[in-house]
Amino acid sequence: MPKSAPKLEWCIVRLGEDMNWWVEEISDEVHWDVDGLSIIDPRQVGHIMDLLDPLRDYDFQPSVFEDAFFKFRIDKKMDDHRLRLVRTNESLFESEELLFALPDVIDEEKGPFADCIDHVTALRVKLLNDLIEFEQKFTIEELEDDIREEQNADFMEGRAVHCFRELLDILEYVPEGYELDGDEDSSSNDEDIEESFPDLDEEDEKIEEDETMKWDEDDDEEEEDEEGFDEDGDDDLGDEDEDEDDEDEEEDEKPSRRARKK
């Protein structure tokens, strides 16, 4: 189905408990099955772009990545966990707008997203062989076998694999027992998960002030007045040494105002 087909015009997405976005409803129900259909949000798109940068030295083709996705922008918020998205022809690489990316998985075996997976897999293997001194050349088959084993475990437990996870598994892959200097850890994407895009809160929560919240501030101001001025408003700092003993006695006889307040 060409990307210009009018049937794919909008979709409704929901934020899952895993903090990923999943398609709940789509305008083209003929070609698309929403069961387990995932979509990459703008925050994740940006993270993937960062991970793709090192592959540019290994003949990365931006058009292969671009063609693998249908792009959507936010049309409106439906509730706290759902958004309505509409199609756009903006480029993931050039647009200043925050875009969602729906992988073209109509043909899961030979479609554009499958081509993209094959492309970044081959380039990741090139990068690994360039940066790590293996006893034998690392192969695409070895990478695919390792990733497939992890994904099969999710399938066995009834969990759908999110397309963002599919890409991360490749773009951050390092064989067991090896590491790359400066290579980003996959957990780094979740450090700011509470601030993930989009922020669905329409209004910031406000804490109502009461007298207990103002008490400490007022008390500090009163203490400053008492330390620097006498009852007539005159500066009594010059008499500090004379009255020091008297003040010590008074403090022993009565508790402080802060203690009485409690």
Summarised one tens digit per residue, pLDDT across range 25-84 is 999 988 999 999 999 999 999 999 999 999 999 999 999 999 999 999 999 999 989 999
* Per-domain residue ranges of the chain: 10-195, 211-261
pLDDT in tens, 177-228: 888 876 544 444 444 434 444 555 444 334 444 444 444 455 555 555 555 5
Residue with tokens 């790359």: 180
DSSP per-residue string spanning 133-197? --SS---HHHHHHHHHHHHHHHHHTTPPPPHHHHHHHHHT---TT---TTPPPGGGGGTTGGGPS
Q: Which residues fall within 8 angstroms of residue 2, CB to CB, at 6 or more apart?
A: none
Q: What are phi and psi of 239, to 5 degrees?
A: -95, 15
Q: What are phi and psi of 172, to 5 degrees?
A: -115, 10
